[in-house]
Amino acid sequence: MGKAFLPSTLLSFFFLWFLLLVFLTKIECTVTYDAKSIVINGQRRILISGSIHYPRSTPEKAKDGGVDVIQTYVLWNGHEPSPGNYNFQGRYDLVRFLKTVHKAGLYAHLRIGVFYEPQGGPIILSQACMNHDCFSIENEYGPESKAFGFSGHNYMDWDGKMVVGMQTGVPWVMCKEEDASDPVINTCNGVYCDAFTPNQPYRPKMLTEAWSGWKTMQLCDHLEKREWRRS
């Protein structure tokens, strides 16, 4: 384990979940949590997040829809369509998008990359390990953590301490990780989160991904194919 060769790579598979206030103007903001909710400047907030990708929509539209937090991937396939050819203009003006989020009175959850979602990762990882010190990542590591037993627990503990040591000033969460250590918040990713409880009583209950429509679509597609085979 060592340093990352790009800051975005080090952060790539962590969900810096909510409240990355990455606006160019300085914002004084205190973000903590208790057993009931996230606490922003001393006030409890129930945050409703929605994915609005900046080349496709606007924060004003999201605010009309009732969300508090705008989540977006950084769409590197549009920002660097070919090696060394960068594009941050027009609908790909990420800085302008974040400023607009701020002006609309919303928060930003920025999923930095290395590409978007998990795509592109293995290629970058192989290049990094050939040419640089290897680095560690985490993305819904829970099932793998259980498989590795004590070593998996130690890895997740190290992971949590490493990201907290970055001193970003906002809480971190781990998705689909029951073993998250203090002060990282463990959250629910899935379909049935109504019975979910955090692994410590002083942490808020948080749902980071609601597997709803797209999971239903996958199930319907599976059942349709099964019925087709029977016929």
The single residue listed with the structure tokens 């009175």 is 105
Reply yes or no on whether 209 is catalytic. Answer: yes
Beta bridge partners of 45: 38
Tokens 């810096």 sit on residue: 16
ω into residue 183 within 30 of 0, thus cis?
yes
Spatial CB neighbours of 10, under 8 Å, sequence gap ≥ 6: 3, 4, 135
Cα 128 from Cα 144, distance rounded (Å)? 22
What does DSSP assign to residue 39? E
SS3 188: strand
Contact 127, 106 (CB under 8 A): no
Which ranges constitute the DSSP H helices of 31-174?
Answer: 59-64, 76-79, 94-103, 121-131, 142-148, 150-164
Buried b (16+ CB within 10 A) or exposed e, 158-171: ebbeebeeeeeebb
Which residue is catalytic, options 28, 80, 177, 209? 209
- Positive or negative torsion for Cα 99, 68, 78, 116: positive
Q: Is position 177 annotated as part of the catalytic site?
A: no
- Give the position of tokens 């990455």: 22
Do residues 18 and 114 lie in contact, with contact meaning Cβ atoms separated by under 8 Å? Answer: no
Q: Single out the catalytic residue among 60, 80, 140, 144.
A: 140
Which positions are catalytic? 140, 209
